[in-house]
Amino acid sequence: MTKTFRDGPVGAIMDEYKRAVRDLKILVETIKQHNFVAVVDNETTDPDCKSIQTIMNHVIRSGYGYSNYIRRKFGDSLTERKENYEVSTPSAACNEIDHMMIYTADTLMNKMEFTFDDMTESIIKTNWGQEYDLEQLLEHAIVHILRHRRQIEMFLAKMQLE
């Protein structure tokens, strides 16, 4: 199998983002419906972290948010993110994350020629007060996926013990 790699620093990050999402989808696609919607963490005050379903909605919503930060920074048109996406089933959640990744790829399409300096000079302020350069924001987006994949794995392990 021949692997295709995108060019440049933006392309490298996009390849890794795609890989993180692929690994998350592989996990989510194996989850039975009753486990997907089950409330696993009754003690959290974070409504985004009660079930695998709520985690997936959060991951998708955040992905659109990261893209919109980039679009605002560069004056590109954007679609306001929704509070709730179609994540009623594992399959629907995977479909929604695919749409989010298409939106992300479209966001970065005219930035693929950016150099590392272009990326580090593009400062983006988030609504939680953190300032990132373009590379850092995209790296944050990738790690966000990885952390929530781990959280889902922990939820599944907890459900097996109950």
Amino acid at 8: G
SS (H, E, C) 122-160: CEEECCCCCEEEHHHHHHHHHHHHHHHHHHHHHHHHHHH
Angle at which helices 8-28 and 52-73 cross, to 10°: 160
Number of domains in the chain: 1
Read off the pLDDT of residues 85-106 as tens digits, 9 standing for 90 and up.
Answer: 999 999 999 999 999 999 999 9
On the question of pLDDT at 44 being above 70, the answer is yes
Q: Is residue 44 part of a domain?
A: yes
Domain that holds residue 104: 8-161
Q: Say what the pLDDT of residue 161 is.
A: 79
Q: Is residue 3 part of a domain?
A: no
CATH of the domain at 82: 1.20.120.450
Read off the pLDDT of residues 116-131 as tens digits, 9 standing for 90 and up.
Answer: 999 999 999 999 999 9
> Cβ distance 102 to 65 under 8 Å?
no
Q: Is residue 1 part of a domain?
A: no
What is the C-alpha to C-alpha distance for residues 35 and 161, in angstroms, rounded to an integer?
A: 13
Q: Say what the pLDDT of residue 124 is.
A: 97
Per-residue pLDDT band at 162 (split at 50, 70, 90): low
Kindly report the average pLDDT of the chain as a whole number.
Answer: 95
Q: Is residue 2 part of a domain?
A: no
Per-residue pLDDT band at 140 (split at 50, 70, 90): very high
Q: Is residue 113 part of a domain?
A: yes
On the question of pLDDT at 1 being above 70, the answer is no
On the question of pLDDT at 63 being above 70, the answer is yes
Q: Say what the pLDDT of residue 90 is.
A: 98
Q: Say what the pLDDT of residue 91 is.
A: 98
Per-residue pLDDT band at 19 (split at 50, 70, 90): very high
